[in-house]
């Protein structure tokens, strides 16, 4: 199916983007809205052999998929800097 999306202009999804930052993985999971894309990401980290996950969802929407992906990653990095492992409490 992803082959058909790429063939007919669907492009890569943000789900395929994984950014590593300070031992955390940031996986954008943008939510399509009528006015653009809602910023959303899954933040993961391996802790004692277990994958810990935090879901980040913002009210912000951005029209461009690429800009929304970049903004989501920047916001996730900010949250990681502020909360670190506290994200998983």
* Confidence at residue 12, expressed as pLDDT on a 0 to 100 scale: 43
* Confidence at residue 80, expressed as pLDDT on a 0 to 100 scale: 97
Say how far apart CA 70 and CA 36 lie, in whole Å.
Answer: 14
Question: Using one digit for the tens of pLDDT, what is the confidence trace for 1-28?
Answer: 444 444 444 444 445 789 999 999 999 9
Domains, the chain: 13-88 (3.30.160.350)
* Confidence at residue 43, expressed as pLDDT on a 0 to 100 scale: 96
Contacts of 83 (CB under 8 A, 6+ apart): none
CA 15 to chain centre: 7
Q: What is the mean pLDDT of the chain?
A: 85
């Amino acid at each position: 199916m992803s082959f058909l999306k790429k063939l007919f202009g669907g492009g890569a999804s943000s789900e395929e983007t994984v950014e590593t930052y300070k031992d955390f993985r940031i996986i954008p999971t943008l939510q399509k809205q009528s006015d653009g894309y809602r910023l959303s990401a899954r933040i993961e980290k391996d802790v004692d052999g277990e994958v810990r996950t935090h879901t980040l969802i913002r009210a912000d929407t951005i029209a461009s998929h690429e800009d929304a992906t970049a903004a989501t990653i920047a916001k996730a990095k900010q949250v990681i800097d502020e909360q670190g492992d506290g994200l998983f409490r």
